[in-house]
Structure 1
Amino acid sequence: MSQVPRGPRGERGAVTAEAAMALPALVLFTLAMVWLVGLGVTQVRAVDAAREVARAAARSDSAAEAVALGHRVAPEGSRISVSRVDGTVRAQVTSPLRGPGGLLRHLGGVEVQASAVAVQEPS
């Protein structure tokens, strides 16, 4: 049996050391991507909720009914407000976003905001 030539003794374990250095960077990159996807999903849900609330309030639904409809669409923990001014209805949705999977919760979170405006329909 022939023996496979090996590199110099100083390079033994180099692949393991390189992997040990790269693994934390890959984990951080993955967490950052999960955070960005979560941010995007939260923004889309907040925009959808604001649109639904404004549309419902413009149809002459009560503010409470419109807000209840918005809470079904909005992310959990969202704050929703409705205002009527000069024949228009404005809905504002503010949604909190925490770290991915509850990780990094000690760093706090961000709030995503969305608003929508609709013209009040005649009664």
Structure 2
Amino acid sequence: MTAETAMALPVLVAVTIGLVWLLSVGLAQVRVVDAARETARAAARGDDAGGALEIGRRVAPPGASVDLGVGGDEVRAVVTAPVVGPGGVFGFLPTVQVRAEAVTVPEARP
């Protein structure tokens, strides 16, 4: 029984670390979607570009890039963020980039 456990334990640890990393990728994706939505919403309701970008940066994961484009009849926010392996264990793997884009129309001003 001990030999089987010794053989299976490293595999179980690797699978667990991999699942935690996938969970962190999913969480980062949710955060970039939220950041893009909040940035576009703020710009659409008339906030200045700097304020809208600041809102997006607060919601986005660390190291994210938040871009805002306002033109004509649309407001477009794009957020990208890198996701690295957990604790440097998978440092040999490439960094995953998560991206989200939100598009809305500016609100009418009375």
TM-score using structure 2 length: 0.92
Q: Name 2:31's counterpart in structure 1.
A: 45
Query: Aligned residues, how many?
Result: 109
- 1:35 equivalent in alignment to 2:18: no
Does 15-24 or 68-77 show the bigger shift? 15-24
SS in 1 for 2:101: strand
- 1:100 equivalent in alignment to 2:86: yes
- 1:70 equivalent in alignment to 2:27: no
Shift in Å at residue 118 of structure 1?
1.2
Task: Tell me how far apart the structure 2 counterparts of residues 59 and 46 of structure 1 sit (CA, whole Å).
Answer: 20
The alignment's C-alpha RMSD in Å is: 1.1
Question: Which amino acid in 1 is paired with 2:99?
Answer: Q
Q: Percent identity?
A: 52
Q: Name 1:26's counterpart in structure 2.
A: 12
Q: Structure 1 runs of 4+ off > 2 angstroms?
A: 105-108
Task: Tell me how far apart the structure 1 counterparts of residues 75 and 88 of structure 2 sit (CA, whole Å).
Answer: 35
| More contact order relative to length (CA 8 Å, sep ≥ 6) | 2
For the pair shown, the structure with the greater C-alpha radius of gyration is 1
Extract unaligned runs of 5+ from structure 2. none
TM-score using structure 1 length: 0.83
